Every structure is written in C-alpha cells, then in structure tokens.
Amino acid sequence: MQTIGEEGIALIKFFEGCKLSSYTCPGGVLTIGYGETGNHVVPGLRLTNEQEADAMLRARLAKEFEPAVRRYVRVPLK
C-alpha cells in the first residue's frame, strides 16, 4: 500500500506552516494546524502543540487523501 513519505509530509508542513489557533485563511475558510479544515475547526479552537497538529495532518492524509490517490493512480509512485 502506498502512503506519503516523510519528505512529502515535510513539504506539506513547509508550505502550510503550523498555526496552533484556528484562523481564517485567505480563502475565507477556518483552518488550524497544518491546513486542517472542516466542521470541527471552529473559532477559538486551540491545539496544545505541533505534535497534535502533526497527528491531525497524518490522520487526514491516511483517511482522505491517500485512498483517493490509490483509487486513481494505478502505477507505483516513488
């Protein structure tokens, strides 16, 4: 099973940056951590540390993005 590697996660973190408090991004969407969005992100939400943001990012990748890539990409990615 293909999953995103540490280099890919580092790239996401570099471009997203980490915010421990929820904020409205330039696109007008409430966001927290490393670009986490959704109904669970509400005004005033705070994460305790970057490890919590990292866990949130990895969970979202595993649940939402990696399955989508596996569904549509039929060749090995390296």
Q: Tens of pLDDT along 7-58?
A: 999 999 999 999 999 999 999 999 999 999 999 999 999 999 999 999 999 9
Q: Domain residue spans in the chain?
A: 19-72
pLDDT at residue 2, as a whole number: 77
* Banded model confidence at residue 1, pLDDT cuts 50, 70, 90: low
How many whole angstroms separate alpha carbon 20 and alpha carbon 5? 23
The rounded Cα 56 to chain-centroid distance in angstroms is 7
φ/ψ of residue 32, rounded to 5: -150, 160
CA angle, 13 then 17 then 22, to 5°: 120
The answer to whether 72 and 52 are in contact (CB under 8 A) is no
pLDDT band at 76 (very low <50, low <70, confident <90, very high): confident
